[in-house]
Structure 1
Amino acid sequence: MFEIRRAKPSDAQTAFDIRLQAIRHQCIGAYTEDQMLAWTAGAAKDGYDVLMGKHFYLSCIDGEPVATGMLDVENGEIGAIFVLPGFMNQGVGLKILNHLEELARDLGLEKVNLDATLNAADFYRRCGYVGDEPAIYHSPSGLQLACVPMVKWLLLWRGSSER
């Protein structure tokens, strides 16, 4: 059974491990080995656990977490969408992305933005995100990675049907 649930502080290590495995599996070729190792260094207790207090979610299959995702409401930003390698290309990432977008709509956000990794930009384009210009993402830990800033409008003008 598939479900998406709100993460708890006790999920920090699980979420961190999903992130680590996804990056090391999916980002080969898009980033150097040194970049991936620096990106995945550290531990959940180094600050990742703080994210669990935000709109952080886990996608679970039969109760086991297989993917993560987060909505930073304050900044209108979606992030931390990571899927365990054994569950990639099965629609899990799309389901959590759709869940976060629906949450953003429910909270009244007109648009959301994200910094797509180089390997994920095409996925986000297929999901309606717009953005082509490469940029540099500056992580809180000081790591700098190439990314593609993207935006998606959630609340569209409804035209003349509403008067």
Structure 2
Amino acid sequence: MIKIDKKESISSSKSENQKKILAVINLLLIAVSLTLLIILTLKIIPLFAQEGRLAQKSNHVIQVEVLNACGTAGLADKFTDLLRSKKFDVVKTGNFASFDIDNSFVIDRSGNKEFAYSLADSIGIDKQNVIQQFNKNYYLDVTLVIGKDFNNYLNQ
């Protein structure tokens, strides 16, 4: 008859339990790591909070159209210089459909309103003056429409 020592049996049982616990912990760590990798890869949760100047936190340079809507000559060029100094890419300038616009506003063209908010914030236009008019035929992000209140924004 084989004699089993109780102490030996208990210690081998504890050792087996510890190995099982460590294996479960390792599997959980691997599962959590893979889940985080998938979430970040699919951009379900952005890595950085999108506050302030979005263009500075990403590689995307915001492309802008500047339109004069008050008739003052040379305004689109002045705003182009201002926006370029703030690292926006002004890709088009011109005149708006009319010259009787009192308040300047920003139009989101790409479907990413954060780009429009970033431009508005950089020159002091209130977020209430940001609208969305998504147009897949526009190859730019934002349109700035300069109204008769342009002096409020030129010195920003």
TM-score, normalised to structure 1, is 0.25
Bigger Rg, structure 1 or 2: 2
| Between structures 1 and 2, the one with greater helix share | 2
